[in-house]
């Protein structure tokens, strides 16, 4: 049962129950909506971009604890970071949850996001954890858009 | 102690689950080191050894193509395939074997009716009535038809308990109503729909009724003639048979006037480049080599179920559902979704404020297989104001111990996620 506790760590449960930045930024200039048709997870990521700088980031949506906590922690990690940082986080995060991190990529820089390391033991839940990040990418690339994990 | 002993005796007089469990090899396996507690039967049931062996036997000693072969094996395969058709006719109480069409499953069955009967007899401005309880497979084929012919979809609403509002059906149907498509048992809530009443109302207006029996056939004794259903369809794999095989029953007078579904071999009696004559029923609807092994396996699955006595099966499964509902009332954090008066095989629930997928993940680690999500009934979830539910669904090999394991694992879920 240890892997269950690795998946649902206190930090994850806290962020799923009390998601941070759970609102719409009124003066956002980028946003995207993401769906996971398998689970019915739905999320909208809002960004206020000043050139390459993520001045503000927030999200709204519904879904399981993993997707909600992942979105919440993502917003706390990326505020005042550049989009370049965001892409780098994205790559490391997705590698980590898919368990593709055999090359020994340094995950330290992910900080609190490392709490999702346990997801790799639950292949059907990988999409839940990565949905907010795919939605983020869509939001950065387009002024607004829709994506789906399927 | 005295009472529990009495219960045990009563249970034994109904069915002997321990004996039945021995017929299902998969129930011996462990999941993540724990005994399998399989409560996802509304998605698919496990297969008894008799079915597995019948398929093995077919491929190892009878395999051949059917109907036009002049050799021995073809004759044997044809006999086995047509024998299965007769078993199905008998099982659902149809008048003739020509009214039994083999398809891939309930989904293909509904598509077949929509694209043959529907395309020919439903036109612009006509209306098709379905219900809020429907699985996507009894919604989308009708939506596609509506788009093709310019018809309109109307929906019978439900109350908060998950029961159909029959009075509303009477208001919905009118001169434009050309067909009613309705489930017999809700896959998400377990509601048994008052089918006889609906069919009676429909027939008073000469409206044919298509019944999705996928969730009913495993749990209820169904007689299509008593119900007076015009079409009744189901999947083999939900009733202890193989995947990839299902059945459409249709009244002969309807099937005869319907155009074929797919074109190809076996559905013709003669072909020239100028004109093709279609084969007689039921072959008109079975183009190409069918799933012969699947049909044979389904026949054996129905034999198996019959040997247990369908009334006893229904009684036993009701006992399991009642026991689960009783246990759930002792768990204040658990909310049962849907309180239909008549229920078959299914309980839907949510635990505290937890998302069904998180609950499903934790249960799985305890060896308990349930389904979590919208159960391919998104409009129903929307009506109930929910994103998803957990669904435990029962089969004849489940026991009260399985129910106990479910509730123990739910308690653990609260500890992990609470």
Q: What letter does residue B259 receive in the DSSP assignment?
A: P
Q: Which residues in chain B have Cβ-Cβ distances shorter than 8 Å to A63? A: 355, 387
Is domain B51-307 in CATH 3.40.640.10, yes or no?
yes
**Residues across chain B:** 418
The CA distances from residue A144 to A128, A135, B69, B246, B285, in Å, are: 21, 10, 61, 44, 48
Domains of chain B by residue range: 2-31+309-417, 51-307
Beta bridge partners of B40: B393
Q: Whole-angstrom Cα distance, residue A136 to residue A128?
A: 14
Contact call for A128 and B374, based on CB within 8 A: no
Q: Are strands A144-148 and A30-36 parallel, antiparallel or unpaired?
A: parallel
Contact call for B357 and A64, based on CB within 8 A: yes
| DSSP-H helix ranges across B26-105 | 49-57, 72-92
Q: Which residues of A touch B (CB under 8 A)?
A: 1, 3-5, 7-8, 13, 17, 38-40, 62-66, 122, 124-125, 128
Q: pLDDT per residue over B294-330, tens digit each?
A: 999 999 999 999 999 999 999 999 999 999 999 999 9
**Residue B265 clears pLDDT 50, i.e. is over it:** yes
Q: Whole-angstrom Cα distance, residue B207 to residue B230?
A: 9
Q: Would you say A25 and A140 are in contact if contact means Cβ atoms under 8 Å apart?
A: no
Name, in order, each residue with C-beta under 8 angstroms of A123's C-beta and a sequence gap of 6 or more. none
Q: pLDDT per residue over A135-148, tens digit each?
A: 999 999 976 566 66
**Predicted model pTM:** 0.93
Q: Residue B360 has what pLDDT?
A: 96
**Residue A77 clears pLDDT 90, i.e. is over it:** yes
Beta bridge partners of B235: B246
Q: Whole-angstrom Cα distance, residue B85 to residue B88?
A: 5
Q: Whole-angstrom Cα distance, residue B339 to residue B190?
A: 9
Name the residue with tokens 């954890």: A129
Q: Whole-angstrom Cα distance, residue A41 to residue B355?
A: 10
Nearest residue on chain A to B358, alpha-carbon basis: A64
Query: How far apart are the two ends of chain B, measured CA to CA in Å?
Result: 34
Sheet holding A30-36, edge to edge: A53-62, A41-50, A30-36, A144-148
Q: Residue A146 has what pLDDT?
A: 63
Q: Which of B390, B219, B391, B223 is nearest to B319 (CA)?
A: B219
Name the packing angle between helices A65-78 and A83-98 (round to 10°). Answer: 150
Provide the domain limits for residue A119: 2-148
Contact call for B387 and A5, based on CB within 8 A: no
Question: Tokens at residue A118, please?
Answer: 């346990």
Question: Tokens at residue A95, please?
Answer: 């590698």
Over residues A22-50, mean pLDDT: 91
Q: Which of A143, A142, A138 is nearest to A43 (CA)?
A: A138
Name the residue with tokens 């906590």: A69
Number of Cβ atoms within 10 Å of the Cβ of A90: 18
Q: Which CATH class is domain B2-31+309-417?
A: alpha beta
Task: Please name the member of A4, A38, A62 whose beta carbon is closest to the beta carbon of B362.
Answer: A4
Nearest residue on chain B to A124, alpha-carbon basis: B361
Q: Would you say B313 and B219 are in contact if contact means Cβ atoms under 8 Å apart?
A: yes
Q: Residue B153 has what pLDDT?
A: 98
Contact call for B417 and A13, based on CB within 8 A: yes
Q: pLDDT per residue over B94-126, tens digit each?
A: 999 999 999 999 999 999 999 999 999 999 999
Number of Cβ atoms within 10 Å of the Cβ of B159: 12
Q: Whole-angstrom Cα distance, residue B302 to residue B338?
A: 30
CA atoms within 13 A on the CB side of B183: 31
Q: Collapsing DSSP states into helix, strand and coil, what is residue B99?
A: helix
pLDDT-based confidence at B85, cuts 50/70/90? very high
Please report, for the domain that includes residue A134, its CATH number.
3.90.1010.10
Q: Collapsing DSSP states into helix, strand and coil, what is residue A147?
A: strand
Task: Please name the member of A5, A62, A64 whose beta carbon is closest to the beta carbon of B358.
Answer: A64
Residues of B catalogued as catalytic: 376
Q: Whole-angstrom Cα distance, residue B70 to residue B62?
A: 14
**Residue A149 clears pLDDT 50, i.e. is over it:** yes
Q: Would you say A35 and A44 are in contact if contact means Cβ atoms under 8 Å apart?
A: no
Q: Which residues in chain B have Cβ-Cβ distances shorter than 8 Å to A1? A: 365
**Residues across chain A:** 150
Q: pLDDT per residue over B151-189, tens digit each?
A: 999 999 999 999 999 999 999 999 999 999 999 999 999
Torsional class of B335: left (φ above 0), alpha (ψ -120 to 50), beta (otherwise): beta
Q: Which of A16, A47, A45 is nearest to A135 (CA)?
A: A45
Count of structural domains, chain A: 1
Q: Collapsing DSSP states into helix, strand and coil, what is residue B50?
A: helix
Task: Please name the member of A1, A17, A39 whose beta carbon is closest to the beta carbon of B357.
Answer: A39
Q: Collapsing DSSP states into helix, strand and coil, what is residue B412?
A: helix
| DSSP-H helix ranges across B122-251 | 140-149, 166-172, 195-204, 224-227
Contact call for A5 and B416, based on CB within 8 A: yes
Over residues B43-52, mean pLDDT: 98
Question: Tokens at residue B147, please?
Answer: 């788009």
Provide the chain B residues 340-369 that lie in CB contact (below 8 A) with chain A: 353-358, 361-362, 365
Q: Would you say B209 and B229 are in contact if contact means Cβ atoms under 8 Å apart?
A: yes
Q: Which residues in chain B have Cβ-Cβ distances shorter than 8 Å to A38? A: 373
């Amino acid at each position: 049962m240890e892997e269950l506790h690795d998946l649902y760590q206190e930090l994850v449960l806290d962020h799923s129950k009390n998601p941070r930045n759970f609102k719409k930024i009124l003066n956002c200039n980028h946003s995207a909506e993401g769906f996971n048709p398998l689970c019915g997870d739905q999320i909208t990521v809002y960004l206020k971009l000043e050139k390459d700088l993520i001045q503000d980031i927030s999200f709204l949506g519904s879904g399981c604890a993993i997707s909600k906590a992942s979105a919440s922690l993502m917003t706390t990690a990326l505020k005042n970071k550049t989009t370049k940082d965001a892409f780098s986080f994205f790559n490391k995060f997705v590698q980590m949850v898919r368990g593709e991190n055999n090359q020994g990529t340094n995950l330290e820089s992910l900080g609190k996001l490392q709490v999702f390391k346990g997801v790799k033991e639950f292949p059907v839940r990988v999409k839940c954890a990565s949905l907010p990040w795919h939605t983020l990418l869509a939001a950065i690339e387009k002024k607004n858009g829709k994506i789906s994990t399927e | 102690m005295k009472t529990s002993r009495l219960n045990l005796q009563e249970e034994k007089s109904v069915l002997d689950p321990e004996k039945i469990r021995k017929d299902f090899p998969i129930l011996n396996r462990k999941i993540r080191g724990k005994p399998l507690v399989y409560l996802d039967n509304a998605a698919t049931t496990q297969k008894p050894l008799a079915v597995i062996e019948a398929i093995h036997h077919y491929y190892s000693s009878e395999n051949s193509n059917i109907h036009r072969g002049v050799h021995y094996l073809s004759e044997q395969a044809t006999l086995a395939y047509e024998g299965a058709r007769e078993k199905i006719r008998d099982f659902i109480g149809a008048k003739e074997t020509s009214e039994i069409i083999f398809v891939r499953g309930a989904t293909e069955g509904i598509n077949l009716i929509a694209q043959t009967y529907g395309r020919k007899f439903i036109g612009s401005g006509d209306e098709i009535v379905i219900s809020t309880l429907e699985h996507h497979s009894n919604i989308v084929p009708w939506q596609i038809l509506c788009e093709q012919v310019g018809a309109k979809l109307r929906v019978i609403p439900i109350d908060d308990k998950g029961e159909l509002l029959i009075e509303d059906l009477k208001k919905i149907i009118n001169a434009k109503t050309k067909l009613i498509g309705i489930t017999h048992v809700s896959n998400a809530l377990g509601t048994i729909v008052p089918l006889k009443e609906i069919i009676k109302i429909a027939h008073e207006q000469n409206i044919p009724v298509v019944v999705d029996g996928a969730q009913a056939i495993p749990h209820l004794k169904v007689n299509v003639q008593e119900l007076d259903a015009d079409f009744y369809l189901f999947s083999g794999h939900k009733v202890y048979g193989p995947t990839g095989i299902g059945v459409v029953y249709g009244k002969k007078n309807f099937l005869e006037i319907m155009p074929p579904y797919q074109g190809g071999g076996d559905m013709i009696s003669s072909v020239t480049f100028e004109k093709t004559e279609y084969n007689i029923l039921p072959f008109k609807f079975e183009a190409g080599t069918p799933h012969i092994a699947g049909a044979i396996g389904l026949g054996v699955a129905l034999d198996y179920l019959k040997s247990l006595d369908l009334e006893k099966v229904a009684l036993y499964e009701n006992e399991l559902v009642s026991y689960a509902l009783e246990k759930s009332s002792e768990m204040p954090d658990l909310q049962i979704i849907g309180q239909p008066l008549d229920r078959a095989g299914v309980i839907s629930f949510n635990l505290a404020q937890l998302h069904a997928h998180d609950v499903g993940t934790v249960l799985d680690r305890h060896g308990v297989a349930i389904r979590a999500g919208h159960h391919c009934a998104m409009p129903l979830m929307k009506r109930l104001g929910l994103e998803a539910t957990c669904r435990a669904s029962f089969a004849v090999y489940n026991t009260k111990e399985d129910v106990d394991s479910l509730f123990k694992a739910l308690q653990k879920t609260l500890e992990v996620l609470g």
